[in-house]
Structure 1
Amino acid sequence: MGESALGVVLAGGLATRMGGIDKGLLSLGHRTILDEVLNRLSSQVDVMIINVNGDPARFSNYMLPCVPDSMSGHLGPLAGVLAGLEYARENGFEWIASVAADTPFFPKDFVCRARAAANEYNAPVVLASSFDFERSKWMRHPTFGVWHVSLEQNLRDALTEGIRKIVMWTDAVGGADVRFEHEQGALDPFFNVNTPDELVIAQEGAHL
């Protein structure tokens, strides 16, 4: 498949601030957060999988492969990325594009622009970033990235050594970032749902 991309939806988190509920399955009205995530991702990649731990039956309505972490111990989103890289290698993909299952409004050109940045900077991984007006600086969104399959063994070794912070590892392997602008006062395109209050904001945003 050469340069084709595998979309990996990271849904393996524990969602402790939402009572352990799968955030992607929360309702935005007529659709779930995950419905919106998959709708946005489907046009940007060739194939999609869901990285999820526990019983995959709760995602059976989506009729997509559910791939658990290959390393035990709830090691965080990097373990989900590793599972995606393994699946990609086994199925002939050169790149994966990771997105978070709780982030329903990410840009529809995310993968295209991130892949372009990877080519421009000759980077094996590119993370998305947006401007935080409260902090007056660009902030990276570590679960949103494109990752080359050649990173698989390096990432496995890093997880074995105890590395959990995504940006620490991506910086070490020569990662880059791509900036997505939005107007001050507008909802950040990488806004994600972590609390009940943020779910209300997402529900309001879904109807704009």
Structure 2
Amino acid sequence: MPGPAPNLLGVVLCGGASKRMGRDKAALTTHQGHSFLEHACRRLQAHCQVVCVSSSSERDTDVQRIPDPPDSHGPISGIHASLSFARDHGFDACVFTPVDTPSITSTDLQTLIDVFANHRDQVVCAVSDQTPDHIEPLIAIYPVTLFDVIDQSIDDGQYSPRRLLRSLPIITVPLSAASCRNINTPSDLDPHSPQP
């Protein structure tokens, strides 16, 4: 008989500078008229009682912000700060999604959560079904027990989440290439059609 469901903190990673896009990706809108940030938060709220935004700056949202540290080293700093927050508030793990992956579905997130429920000591990480060797370290569930490992990685000057995950026992979950696709430039906007 399975144990109790894990207590998960949903986190939208929203700390990038959006340089290639030329404007804040969090403020881009889906075909349904929601900002990418609103869309990402709603997706996570279907699975997590608490959802936060990991960001280097204040956001126009009622969702709690977990600030990136002043000496941020990219996404790993957001993951680190979020795991610290989760650990301090009694969560078992963080479910991460980037703000710029609007086509991840609720079903995709549930698939990751179902796998994590049976492997709570490991990172459960998405991979594209078209490139299964290319892990998606920002579409993943990280247990709070890895906080010290990530802390040490940052202390050692190793800031790549993908490289870090290659050194850890992880479980990969294939998702569609469309779900894993991130929006980086204006030309990426046309073909996407995020799910509600």
Q: TM-score, normalised by structure 1?
A: 0.83
1:41 aligned counterpart, secondary structure: helix
The question of 1:32 aligning with 2:22 is answered no
Offset of 1:158 from its aligned partner? 0.2
The 5 Å alignment of 1:167-182 reads 167-180=162-175, 182=176
Q: Which of the numbers 149, 165, 168 marks the counterpart of 1:154?
A: 149
Residue number in structure 2 paired with 1:81? 79
8 A Cα contact 1:131 1:139, kept in partner: no
Unaligned stretches of 5+ residues in structure 2:
none
Q: Secondary structure at the match of 1:48?
A: strand
Q: Distance in 2 between matches of 1:51 and 1:104?
A: 16
**Number of aligned residues:** 192
Question: How big is the alpha-carbon RMSD for the aligned residues of Structure 1 and Structure 2?
Answer: 2.3
Are positions 1:18 and 2:21 aligned together?
Answer: yes
Native 8 Å contact 1:124 1:175 kept in 2 = yes
Match of 2:185 in 1: 195
Q: Distance in 1 between matches of 2:83 and 2:194?
A: 31
TM-aligned CA deviation for residue 207 of structure 1: 8.9
- Code of the residue aligned with 2:169 in structure 1: it is G
- Alpha-carbon deviation of 1:120? 4.2
Given the alignment of the two structures, is residue 115 of structure 1 paired with residue 117 of structure 2, yes or no? Answer: no
State the AA in 2 paired with 1:171: R
CA spacing shift, 1:106–1:206, aligned 2, 3 Å = closer
Contact 1:123 1:176 (C-alpha < 8 Å) held by counterparts = no
Other structure's SS at 2:71 match: coil
**Mapping of residues 45-194 of structure 1, within 5 Å:** 45-54=48-57, 56=58, 59-60=59-60, 62-70=61-69, 72-121=70-119, 123-132=121-130, 137-180=132-175, 182=176, 188-194=178-184
Partner SS, residue 184 of structure 2 = coil
Post-superposition offset of 1:73: 2.9
Identify the residue that residue 7 of structure 2 maps to in structure 1: 4
Gaps in structure 1 of 5+ consecutive residues:
none
Q: 1:41 aligns with which of 23, 40, 44?
A: 44
Secondary structure of 1:173's partner?
coil
- The DSSP-based 3-state class of the residue aligned with 1:9 is strand
Q: 2:183·2:189 contact (CA, 8 Å) conserved in 1?
A: yes
Which has a greater percent of helix? 1
**TM-score with structure 2 length normalisation?**
0.87
Query: In the superposition, relative to structure 1, how do residues 173 and 7 fare at CA in structure 2: closer, same or farther (>3 Å)?
Result: same
The alignment-based identity, stated in percent, is 23
Taking the aligned partners of 1:121 and 1:2, their CA distance within structure 2 comes to: 12
Q: Partner of 1:96: helix, strand, or coil?
A: strand
Stretch moving more, 169-178 or 106-115 = 106-115
